[in-house]
Amino acid sequence: MRSSLIGLWVLTLTAAGVAQPPKEKAPKVSLALNTDHSTPLVALAFSGNGSKFVTVETNDVHLWNVSTGERERTWRLPNELRKVAVSPDGRTAAVTYWGKDAKILVWLLNLETGASKSLDSGNYDEEYLTFSPDSQRLVIGGDLRAFIWDIRTWDQRMPVLTHRINRNSQVISVAFNRDGNRLLVSWSGKDNSQVQVWDASPPLDKKLPIVPKVPLTVLPEANDRRAAYASDGRIVAWKLDGAAMDINLWSAEGKQEGATISVPDFPGQRVVRITDDDRLILAAEQKSKVQVCTVNLKNATIEATHTWPIQIQPKHPIAIAPNGKILAAASGPGFQVHLFDLPQSMLIRRIGQADPVPSVVGFSKDSKSVAWGFQQKIYPKSDPRDLVAGLNLATLQPLRKGSFAGYSLWRSDPVGFQWEKRPDGKPGMAFSYKEKLVVSEIEYSRSSATYVTPKGKLGVILGGTTGGLYHIDGVTGKVMSKIESRSLLADQLVVSSDGKYLLVSRLNLALDIYRIDRNEFELLLNIVSVG
């Protein structure tokens, strides 16, 4: 079993006479391979500064160091675990599980000392939880009520229930304002759906728990309306209206500001992120596509919309980085996570290998790391080629000049490139680039890589299904150079940004580096085994 960071195949060409590839602008991806999850992975969360990473499987909770990939701590718990939240100060993790009759119980875990304590929340059914900005309180919402707990010294004494908010509805979202003295609760129920603002000020010499009777602010009733705070203290609320998503802004006092912002044709499971610069980003899956819409809350306008094709199956997660610049969409099997640059509206990375589709995916609070995992019952034997055993961690960093990194330079298809069917109906490889259809002489491929040179020329590298490599001219579809060898089974292909170098990862774990810009495959380096 591995619990250390695997710096996968980082190679630097320093041999005499070998030109150095130019600096890559896109981020490097360093991957941690860990195979210690023996039961399904059900949840994950990062600490506030992104340095720690918590993963939850059926009965165990693991704490990881993001920079080293080391597992620092494990809690073995006698319950079937469900959700996790990490306090902003990175000291406490709250992990939920159900007791009898779906009663919500919470394990509080001290990530620094390893201490643990079980808390009976007093609530039932589907749970929603979040920490206050100062990490001193925890709110747990469920059926009919929302509870606020004082957890400042929970590892020394039992947490104290300070507020109990009652309503004949189900909680569907909870959020503190930046000061932590207001709690925004969204309720859903038949003829009883509201968004309310409650006084959540820490109690001063009051009889506990406080049971407030009347909310400070009530927004107009609307079915399944969820809400959160913008950075300036305004309330942002959104709800589905037919096939459109309606977004409204209210002042902290509950006065509606401006007209409804309607995002049309936005069905499917949605992920919502409000960034620090007051942009609301919606993301959803629809008919094998990822749809994203960015709404500027400052001027109440739809700023950008994006649609990307992706291999999506039911209940596959998507996530938005806290800075609002990157979207991660689970796909697969193979290349399980696609990373999209939202400002540039383009696919920038496809991470992973021929593994199952992830069931969980998430970003760190600093937007520098993305993690994903699976819910498999039985895992195969650990293998450095195979990131199948429960947990993957990718850290995005600048790439050093002259270096290749396996699982990091998987080049996305250039903008305007798309694989197509042959118009004559015959089997074979065809693609379009800048709306021009190109038919290749090669019928099938095991692996592929595409690139565009600085002069704008498209090239395609194909790994043959029965072995060999083919370098295809992106204008004519002709084979410019090839290696015909049944022993050369290319599993993954990486092309440097200038189109000069090719890194080949073989199925037998061998690595080859070729120079490919001279109409031939010129072998520069061969590593027989990696592992």
Dump the DSSP string for 186-248.
EEE-TT--EEEEEE-PPPSS--SSB--SS-SEEPPP-TT-EEEE-TTS-EEEEEEETTEEEEE
Strand order in the sheet with 458-463: 447-452, 458-463, 469-473, 479-483
Q: Rounded mean pLDDT of 65-76?
A: 80
- Collapsing DSSP states into helix, strand and coil, what is residue 438? strand
Q: Bridge partners of 149?
A: 138, 161
Report residue 109's pLDDT band, with 50, 70 and 90 as the boundaries: very high
Give this prediction's pTM: 0.64
Q: Please, is 245 exposed, middle or buried when counting C-beta atoms within 10 Å of its C-beta (0-12, 13-18, 19+)?
A: buried
Whole-angstrom distance, CA of residue 306 vs CA of residue 75? 41
User: Contact 448/460 with Cβ under 8 angstroms?
Assistant: yes
Strands (DSSP E) contained in 242-300 are 244-250, 256-263, 270-274, 279-285, 289-296
Q: How far apart are CA 328 and CA 140, in angstroms?
A: 28
What average pLDDT does this structure show over 455-471? 86
- How much is the pLDDT for 31? 43
Residues 353, 358: Cα–Cα separation, whole Å: 12
* Residue 347 · residue 308 · CB < 8 Å: yes
pLDDT at site 400:
36
Tell me the sheet residues that pair with 274.
280
Residue 437 identity:
L
Specify the 3-state DSSP secondary structure of 6. Answer: coil
Strands 270-274, 194-199: pairing is: unpaired
> CA-CA distance, 226 to 105, in Å (whole number)?
24
Q: What are the two backbone dihedrals, phi and then psi, of residue 101, each rounded to the nearest 5 degrees? A: 60, 35
Residues 88 and 136: their CA atoms lie apart, in Å, by 10
* Region for residue 144 given its phi and psi (left: phi exceeds 0; alpha: psi -120 to 50; beta: otherwise): left
pLDDT digits (tens, 9 = 90+) for 308-349: 877 655 556 788 988 898 898 887 665 678 888 888 888 777
Mean pLDDT across 373-388? 41
Residues 10 and 329 sit within 8 Å (Cβ to Cβ): no
Round to whole Å and give the CA distance between 487 and 489.
Answer: 6
Cis status of the peptide bond prior to 209, with omega within 30 of 0 = yes
Nearest to 343 by CA among 307, 311, 371, 306: 306
Identify whether the C-beta of residue 83 lies closer than 8 Å to the C-beta of residue 71. no
Could you give the strand order of the β-sheet that contains 71-76, starting from the edge strand earlier in sequence? Answer: 41-46, 52-57, 60-65, 71-76
Rg (CA), the chain: 26
Name the token pair of 376: 């498999």
**Residue 160 burial class via C-beta count within 10 angstroms: exposed 0-12, middle 13-18, buried 19 and up:** middle
Residue 301 vs residue 288, higher pLDDT: 301
Domains of the chain: 36-229 (2.130.10.10), 417-527 (2.40.10.480)
Most confidently predicted of 274-288, 332-346, 348-362 = 274-288
DSSP lists the bridge partners of residue 238 as 226, 247
**Average pLDDT, integer, range 42-68:** 83
**Nearest-CA neighbor of 137 among 111, 163, 98, 118?**
163
Distance CA 403, CA 115 (A): 43
Sheet holding 501-506, edge to edge: 490-495, 501-506, 511-515, 522-527
- Lowest mean pLDDT: which of 66-75, 225-234, 271-280, 292-301? 66-75
Residue with tokens 């968004």: 195
The whole-number pLDDT of residue 409 equals 33
- The token pair at 392 is 């993957």
Segment 243-266, tens digit of pLDDT:
788 899 999 888 999 889 988 877
Identify the top-confidence range among 127-131, 344-348, 403-407, 451-455.
127-131
Following CA atoms 360, 366, 367, 373 in sequence, which dihedral angle do they give, to the nearest 10 degrees?
Answer: -20
Contact 71, 3 (CB under 8 A): yes
What pLDDT does 357 receive? 66
Rounded Cα distance between 468 and 17, Å, is 26
Amino acid at 363: F
In angstroms, rounded to a whole number, what is the distance separating the alpha carbons of residues 184 and 205? 24
274/232 Cα distance (integer angstroms) = 12
